[in-house]
Amino acid sequence: MGNTNTEKAREALESMVWQFGHRGVKNGKPVIHTGGLSALEEAFETLGWKDPHYLPEEGYTCAVVGCMEADTAGTHWSGSKLYLRLCSKHYHQSLSGIPIPSIKQWALDREAKRDPITGCLPLDTGIDSSNQIKQAGYHRMPEGEPRLLSESEIMSILKDAFTSTLLCGGFIPIGAFECITKAVKAQREVDMRFYNE
């Protein structure tokens, strides 16, 4: 049975709250709040959320121990193979070459699950990132047997990613799409040879 209009409306409202709600910290815990905006106040009320709405630490905060600020960027810390979700302050520190600080255990556990060859996380990392996916405008691929994507599927995903980036105010250098397209096609040829062996 598909989504009813009520379910679709609730999902749309929740997506808007995730996009326009204000992130912060209250009582040492991450929250999303209305910031006093009446439209968000009505949305929180409709969703049955208190203002502020408390969030789990994992997946919503900076990976540095002791920091509860919202994660705003993902990057490797200079000189480290760890890919970390960091707040703005720690993101800038990660680029400056200072030694890596203590990292939260959940981030270390997630990084330990990366494939040593591809560097990719398994599909089930144990983290519910569905809200972050909704925020970014992406949707999970349908579950099923792992398979190589066709070239048209890859191109569709790339176009969606570029469109989402532009719609969210991101900057894409001229020629980036063509450059990434060539790289993806070359990687797909390597994958096809490996997959068919």
Per-residue confidence at 167, pLDDT binned at 50, 70, 90? low
Give pLDDT, residue 101: 94
Say whether pLDDT at 171 is over 80. no
d(CA 2, CA 8): 10
Residue 129: per-residue pLDDT:
45
pLDDT at 103: 94
pLDDT value of position 127 = 47
How far is Cα 11 from Cα 127, in angstroms, rounded to an integer? 20
pLDDT of res. 83? 85
Higher pLDDT residue, 131 or 37?
A: 37
Higher pLDDT, 139 or 194: 194
pLDDT band at 166 (very low <50, low <70, confident <90, very high): low
Torsion of CA 121, 87, 132, 115, to 10 degrees: 0
DSSP letter for each residue of the chain: ----HHHHHHHHHHHHHHHHSEEEEETTEEEEE-TT-HHHHHHHHHHT--SSEE--STTTB-SBTT--SBP-EEEEPTT---EEEE-HHHHHHHHHTPPP--B-HHHHHHHHTS-TTT-PPPS--S---HHHHHHHT--PPPPSS--PPPHHHHHHHHHHHHHHHHHTT----TTHHHHHHHHHHHHHHHHHHHHH-
Confidence class for position 64, pLDDT limits 50, 70, 90: very high
**Higher pLDDT among residues 64 and 75, named by residue:** 64
pLDDT above 90 covers a percentage of the chain that reads: 13
Structure tokens at 178: 């063509």
pTM above 0.75, yes or no: no
Token readout for 141 is: 């691929």
The pLDDT tens digits for 3-24 are: 688 888 888 888 888 888 888 8
pLDDT at 116: 73
Better pLDDT: 172 or 27? 27
Alpha carbon of 16 to those of 10, 39, 44, 121: distances in Å?
10, 10, 11, 28
101-146 pLDDT, tens digit each: 999 999 998 888 877 766 676 655 444 444 444 433 333 344 444 4
Dist CA 95 CA 113 (whole Å): 24
Who wins on pLDDT, 129 or 100?
100
Residue 14 CA to residue 47 CA, distance in Å, equals 7
Where are the domains positioned within the chain? 1-55, 56-124, 141-196
